[in-house]
Amino acid sequence: MTDPRRVALVRRPDPTLADGLLTHKQRQAVDVELAARQWAGYCAALADAGWQVVEVEPAPGHADSVFVEDTVVMFGDLAVLTRPGAPERRGEVAGTARMLRTLEGIEVAEIAEPGTLEGGDVLKVGRTVYVGTSSRTNAEGIRQLRALLAPRGRTVIAVPLSKALHLKSAVTALPDGTVIGYEPIVDAPGLFPHFLPVPEEDGLAVVVLSPDTLLMSDAAPASAALLRSLGYRVVTVDIGEFVKLEGCVTCLSVRVR
Residues that bind ligand CIR (CB under 6 A): 20-21, 23, 64, 67, 69-70, 86, 89, 119-120, 165-166, 168-169, 245-248, 251
Residue nearest to ligand CIR (CB): 120
Q: Considering the complex, what minimum distance in angstroms separates the CB of residue 239 from ligand CIR?
A: 11
CA-CA-CA-CA dihedral for 61, 62, 66, 67, to nearest 10: 170
For 195, counting Cβ atoms within 10 Å of its Cβ (0-12 exposed, 13-18 middle, 19+ buried), the class is: middle
Q: Considering the complex, what minimum distance in angstroms separates the CB of residue 63 from ligand CIR?
A: 8
Rama region for 17: left / alpha / beta (φ>0; ψ in -120 to 50; rest): alpha
Report the C-alpha gap between 102 and 133 in whole angstroms: 31
Whether 251 sits among the annotated catalytic residues: the reply is: yes
Q: Considering the complex, what minimum distance in angstroms separates the CB of residue 235 from ligand CIR?
A: 19
Per annotation, catalytic residue among 43, 62, 248, 251: 251
In DSSP notation, 38-86 reads HHHHHHHHHHHTT-EEEEPPP-TT-TTTT-GGGGEEEETTEEEE-B-SS
CB 82 within 8 A of CB 93: yes
CB 85 within 8 A of CB 116: yes
CB 21 within 8 A of CB 88: yes
- Of 21 and 191, nearer to ligand CIR (C-beta) is 21
Under DSSP, the state recorded for 125 is E
Whether 24 sits among the annotated catalytic residues: the reply is: no
- Of 7 and 17, nearer to ligand CIR (C-beta) is 17
Per annotation, catalytic residue among 43, 62, 166, 248: 166
Q: Considering the complex, what minimum distance in angstroms separates the CB of residue 186 from ligand CIR?
A: 15
- Of 226 and 249, nearer to ligand CIR (C-beta) is 249
Q: Considering the complex, what minimum distance in angstroms separates the CB of residue 194 from ligand CIR?
A: 22
Distances (CA, A) of 75 to 228, 246, 252: 28, 25, 18
- Of 156 and 252, nearer to ligand CIR (C-beta) is 252
- Of 202 and 246, nearer to ligand CIR (C-beta) is 246
Count of positions (residues) in the chain: 257
Catalytic amino acids? 166, 251
